[in-house]
Structure 1
Amino acid sequence: MAMRYTFGGDEHLFVECSEAMSLHAFFASLSMTKAIGEAGIKGITEICPANASFQVKFDPDIIHPDDLLKEVKAIETAASGAAPVISTRIVEIPVFYGDPWTHETLMRFRERHQDPSGTDLDYAARINNYATVEDFIAAHAGSPWFVSMVGFVSGLPFMYQMVERQRQIEVPKYLRPRTDTPRLTVGHGGCFGCIYSVRGAGGYQMFGITPMPIYDPTQTTSYLRDFMVFFRPGDIVKFKPVDRDGYDQAVEEVDKGLFVPPIREVRFDLAEFQKDIDGYNAKLEGLLHGH
Structure 2
Amino acid sequence: MYENARFLPAGDKSLIIEFGDSISPEINKKIRNMYLAIEKSGLEGILEMVPTYRSLLLSYNPVKIRYSELCSRLRECEENLGDTGSEPAKVVEIPTVYGGEYGADIEFVAQHNNLSIDDVVKIHSSKDYLIYMLGFTPGFPYLGGMSEKIETPRLKTPRTKIPGGSVGIAGKQTGIYPIDSPGGWQLIGKTPVRLYDPFGEPPVLLNAGDYVRFVPVDEKEYKSILKLVEEKKYKVNIALLDKE
Alignment TM class, shorter chain as reference:
0.7 to 0.9
1:23 corresponds to 2:4: no
Counterpart amino acid of residue 99 in structure 2: G
Q: Which secondary structure state, in structure 1, belongs to the residue aligned with residue 227 of structure 2?
A: helix
Q: CA deviation at 1:267?
A: 4.3
* Residue in structure 1 matched with residue 54 of structure 2 by the alignment: 52
Q: CA deviation at 1:91?
A: 2.3
Q: CA deviation at 1:268?
A: 1.3
Q: Distance in 1 between matches of 2:126 and 2:193?
A: 19
Q: Write the deviation string for residues 145-180 of structure 1: whole angstroms up to 9, x where unpaired.
A: 12222233222222223x7xx757543333343211
Aligned residues of 2:14 and 2:59 also touching (Cα < 8 A) = yes
Q: CA deviation at 1:138?
A: 0.6
* Residue in structure 2 matched with residue 106 of structure 1 by the alignment: none
* Residue in structure 1 matched with residue 101 of structure 2 by the alignment: 100
1:260 corresponds to 2:225: no
Aligned residues of 2:130 and 2:212 also touching (Cα < 8 A) = yes
Q: Which secondary structure state, in structure 2, belongs to the residue aligned with residue 48 of structure 1?
A: strand
Q: CA deviation at 1:143?
A: 0.7
Counterpart amino acid of residue 241 in structure 1: P
Aligned residues of 2:16 and 2:56 also touching (Cα < 8 A) = yes
* Residue in structure 2 matched with residue 245 of structure 1 by the alignment: 220
Q: From the two aligned structures, give the one with the greater helix fraction.
A: 1
Counterpart amino acid of residue 186 in structure 1: V
Q: Report the CA distance shift for 1:169/1:84 in structure 2 as closer, same or farther (over 3 A).
A: farther
* Residue in structure 1 matched with residue 183 of structure 2 by the alignment: 202
1:148 corresponds to 2:149: no
Q: CA deviation at 1:94?
A: 1.1
Aligned residues of 2:167 and 2:176 also touching (Cα < 8 A) = yes
Q: Distance in 2 between matches of 1:158 and 1:247?
A: 23
1:177 corresponds to 2:158: yes
Q: Which secondary structure state, in structure 1, belongs to the residue aligned with residue 159 of structure 2?
A: coil
Identity %: 29
Aligned residues of 2:131 and 2:144 also touching (Cα < 8 A) = yes
* Residue in structure 2 matched with residue 132 of structure 1 by the alignment: 116
1:232 corresponds to 2:207: yes
Aligned residues of 2:132 and 2:143 also touching (Cα < 8 A) = yes
Aligned residues of 2:37 and 2:84 also touching (Cα < 8 A) = no
Q: CA deviation at 1:77?
A: 2.2
Q: CA deviation at 1:239?
A: 0.8
Q: Distance in 1 between matches of 2:108 and 2:85?
A: 36
Q: Distance in 2 between matches of 1:83 and 1:145?
A: 25
Aligned residues of 1:99 and 1:209 also touching (Cα < 8 A) = no
Q: Distance in 1 between matches of 2:96 and 2:114?
A: 20
Q: TM-score, normalised by structure 1?
A: 0.74
Q: Distance in 2 between matches of 1:202 and 1:130?
A: 25
Q: Report the CA distance shift for 1:10/1:236 in structure 2 as closer, same or farther (over 3 A).
A: same
Q: From the two aligned structures, give the one with the greater strand fraction.
A: 2
Q: Report the CA distance shift for 1:260/1:26 in structure 2 as closer, same or farther (over 3 A).
A: same
Q: Which secondary structure state, in structure 1, belongs to the residue aligned with residue 72 of structure 2?
A: helix
Q: CA deviation at 1:47?
A: 1.1
Aligned residues of 2:178 and 2:195 also touching (Cα < 8 A) = yes
Counterpart amino acid of residue 28 in structure 2: F
Q: Report the CA distance shift for 1:64/1:255 in structure 2 as closer, same or farther (over 3 A).
A: closer
Counterpart amino acid of residue 229 in structure 1: V
Q: Write the deviation string for residues 214-255 of structure 1: whole angstroms up to 9, x where unpaired.
A: 222244xxxxxx322211223322111122222122222323
Q: Distance in 2 between matches of 1:25 and 1:238?
A: 21
Q: Distance in 2 between matches of 1:84 and 1:170?
A: 35
Q: Report the CA distance shift for 1:260/1:173 in structure 2 as closer, same or farther (over 3 A).
A: same
Q: CA deviation at 1:133?
A: 2.3
